[in-house]
Amino acid sequence: MGKEIKLSLVYRDMWQSSGKYLPRVDQLVRVAQPIIDMGVFSRVETNGGGFEQICLLYGENPNKAVREWTTPFNKAGIQTHMLERGLNGIRMSPVPSDVRKMMFQLKKKQGTDIARSFDGLNYAPNLQKSFQYAREGGMIAQGCLCITFSPVHTVDYYIKLADTLIDYGAEEICIKDMAGIGRPVSVGKMIKGIKERHPNTIVQYHGHSTPGFSVATSLEAARAGADYIDVGMEPLSYGTGHADLLTIHEMLRDAGFSLPDINMDAYMEVRSLTQEFIDDFLGYYINQRNRKMNPLLIGPGLPGGMMGSLMADLENNLKSINKFKTKKGLPLLSQDELLIKLFDEVKYTWPRFGYPPLVTPYSQYVKNASLMNVIQMEKGKKRFSMIDENTWGMLMGKSGKLPGPIGEELQAMADAEGREKFEGNPQDLYPDELPKFRQQMEEKGWELGQDEEELFEFAMHPPQYEDFKSGKAKEKFNKDLAARKAKANGGATSAAVPVPVAVSNTSTQATAASFQPKSMWIDVDGERFKVSVSYGEDDTTTSPLPPSKGESPSAAPVQKVSTSGPMINVESPLEGKFFLTKSSADKAVKVGDVVKEGDTIFYVESMKVINAVKADEGGEIVEILVNHGDDIEEDDVVMRLK
């Protein structure tokens, strides 16, 4: 009998690599026992990454979901593992140390055995606390090598990185090939080198299928000494997901490895249930392009996990670009042409950003900056004319040390804007916050929850949790799903589309039938204005960008009627949420302020980041047409200057 090798089903990642949402908790509980009955899995990835935020977005309590989803595997003796982002915990932005520590303690109590921790820059010091907190909380600390392919990221680089992670307290190593671009032989050499230095350290290989290497890489990983191989299964294997269980199982057996038999009756039940969940509502959020492998992604190296949101972004941006081209009488772009332009721009941008591994959140930063470059250049503007504040933070060292230096043009921009390099510990930038959130929950009369899990959720995802508690998240989700179903049915729709989302701890039970416009555009004597409409309910918007201290961004559109002469329309360069400030320390612009070319005048939250919008021309602000926190479309006029 050959060497035993074990398999892990990445059921969470299967969904998130294909689309936006995951199954509801009632669906997860239904599929858990058939997964167990398959008899082939030693581990199952149950939560982490965007799992909890996604639950909140469609109105489900994520703590209930984690507890009920992990329980069957705990009882069966199958280890559960979660994905966490080091400094960023399980969200896109940095997390205070006390919230990070609470996460590991709580997740173990909720039934998660292994913390798979990665840093998006492979900056090992950011993971030291993750390993410490995981072990203190009773979890197994697994450290990730985020695999990419560049002049910086060599086999020797990764072997030394594994040494460092193990020195910092990692008990296991995961080869996290998030884009599937790790060359099979190179990955094999990495694992062999790690095993030679650390023969008793478990190594797990996780590779996406996107460009087509993952089956060959899984075999090389196994031959080099990997102990676990992550797999997906039909109908969500391959594409931007993971190599299929049946393929990997048969290939490894043929290579002489020992694996348990697969209960094919249980396999077919899991397959059938997964398809049922797709047919229920999840399929409306899966772009069919993500079901196909794409060798074109070998070049840009973008990860499978972000391709769902990328294709949605491209659809919206293509409309904007072609609207501009139509006005100018220029040839229109196809989506494929835009996609290739984006891939080419990623190849240009990535080295100048210092080669950050293309994994959450830095893959989004590189993609967003590249996409903005394409849009701006297609509209006749300069490259790098819009870089969001999150990306600048990464470039200036606030997320940790980049693998390589940033490009000269970006350094010149940073110098011109007075941006200074941060050399300290990134965690020090984010002081403890649990006492603040505890006080806020007491003031709101909210329960802290079992093991204070509701406090944790609020501290980890403040705006999403507030929208969940108020019922706004469920309302927004139902409205969006109703629109998608109507579109799929050729435009025919009813007033309400029932969605069986299990909701707890919410104060409202809105349905699609209750949706009414909160704002509208009206024309008055040739001038276009956006006005708010109230129906008597609470219209307040939970915003990650609170109003300024001492200033209150206008509750209604600000207008200065007594103006004459030509005015400059300031248009939003992208779709998203409009904000006058990005934090409570900022001062909002107001009517009467004089701004210079290049001054930041507002912000747009879009594509998971906050984008600062600068004035193309100087002048006096005579009108602000949009509320702080409003949803806006690309090319909407949001201000006027004189």
Q: What are the pLDDT digits (tens) for 101-125?
A: 999 999 999 999 999 999 999 999 9
What's the pLDDT band for 565 if we cut at 50, 70, 90?
Answer: low
Mean predicted confidence (pLDDT) in 185-207 = 98
User: In the predicted model, is pLDDT for residue 531 greater than 50?
Assistant: no
Mean predicted confidence (pLDDT) in 501-525 = 37
106, 272, 279 from 235: Cα distances, Å? 32, 9, 12
Percent of the chain scoring above 70 in pLDDT: 86
User: In the predicted model, is pLDDT for residue 523 greater than 50?
Assistant: no
* Lowest pLDDT segment from 59-63, 357-361, 412-416, 583-587: 583-587
User: In the predicted model, is pLDDT for residue 546 greater than 90?
Assistant: no
More confident residue, 280 or 315: 280
Confidence at residue 630, expressed as pLDDT on a 0 to 100 scale: 87
User: In the predicted model, is pLDDT for residue 262 greater than 90?
Assistant: yes
Can you tell me which residue has the tokens 């769902």?
308
- β-partners of residue 142 are 116, 172
Which one of 244, 267, 291 terminates a domain?
291
Confidence at residue 528, expressed as pLDDT on a 0 to 100 scale: 43
CATH number at residue 195: 3.20.20.70
CATH number at residue 586: 2.40.50.100
Q: How far apart are CA 588 and CA 444, in angstroms?
A: 28
Write the pLDDT tens digit of every residue in 291-301.
888 888 888 88
41, 42, 368 from 273: Cα distances, Å? 18, 21, 35
Q: Residue 235, preceding bond cis, omega within 30 degrees?
A: yes
Confidence at residue 576, expressed as pLDDT on a 0 to 100 scale: 83
What's the pLDDT band for 186 if we cut at 50, 70, 90?
Answer: very high
Confidence at residue 532, expressed as pLDDT on a 0 to 100 scale: 42
User: Is 462 part of any domain?
Assistant: no
User: Is 494 part of any domain?
Assistant: no
As a three-state string, the secondary structure of 314-367 is: HHHHHHHHHHHHHHHCCCCCCHHHHHHHHHHHHHHHHHHCCCCCCCCCHHHHHH
The DSSP-derived string for 248-307 is HHHHHHHTT-B-PPP-HHHHHHHHHHHHHHHHHTGGGGB-GGGGS--GGGGTT---GGGH
Confidence at residue 1, expressed as pLDDT on a 0 to 100 scale: 64
621-638: burial string, b at 16+ Cβ within 10 Å, e else: bbbbbbbbbbebebbbbb
Confidence at residue 233, expressed as pLDDT on a 0 to 100 scale: 97
Q: Residue 361, preceding bond cis, omega within 30 degrees?
A: yes
User: Is 264 part of any domain?
Assistant: yes
User: Is 588 part of any domain?
Assistant: yes
User: Is 112 part of any domain?
Assistant: yes
- Phi and psi, residue 202, nearest 5°: -70, 135
Q: How far apart are CA 116 and CA 140, in angstroms?
A: 8
Q: How far apart are CA 242 and CA 240, in angstroms?
A: 7
Confidence at residue 527, expressed as pLDDT on a 0 to 100 scale: 46
337 and 329 Cβ atoms separated by less than 8 Å:
no
* Lowest pLDDT segment from 210-219, 412-421, 480-489, 517-526: 517-526
User: In the predicted model, is pLDDT for residue 540 greater than 60?
Assistant: no
What's the pLDDT band for 608 if we cut at 50, 70, 90?
Answer: low
Confidence at residue 562, expressed as pLDDT on a 0 to 100 scale: 52
> What total number of domains does the chain contain?
2
Which one of 261, 291, 321 terminates a domain?
291
Q: How far apart are CA 173 and CA 166, in angstroms?
A: 8
What's the pTM?
0.80
What's the pLDDT band for 556 if we cut at 50, 70, 90?
Answer: very low
User: Is 373 part of any domain?
Assistant: no
Mean predicted confidence (pLDDT) in 452-464 = 96
User: In the predicted model, is pLDDT for residue 129 greater than 50?
Assistant: yes
- Planar angle of CA 472, 309, 574, nearest 5 degrees: 75
User: Is 572 part of any domain?
Assistant: yes
User: Is 129 part of any domain?
Assistant: yes
Write the pLDDT tens digit of every residue in 170-185.
999 999 999 899 999 9
Domain that holds residue 531: 519-641
Which one of 257, 291, 325 terminates a domain?
291
390 and 610 Cβ atoms separated by less than 8 Å:
yes
Compute the mean pLDDT over every residue in the chain, rounded to the nearest whole number: 86
Mean predicted confidence (pLDDT) in 268-272 = 98
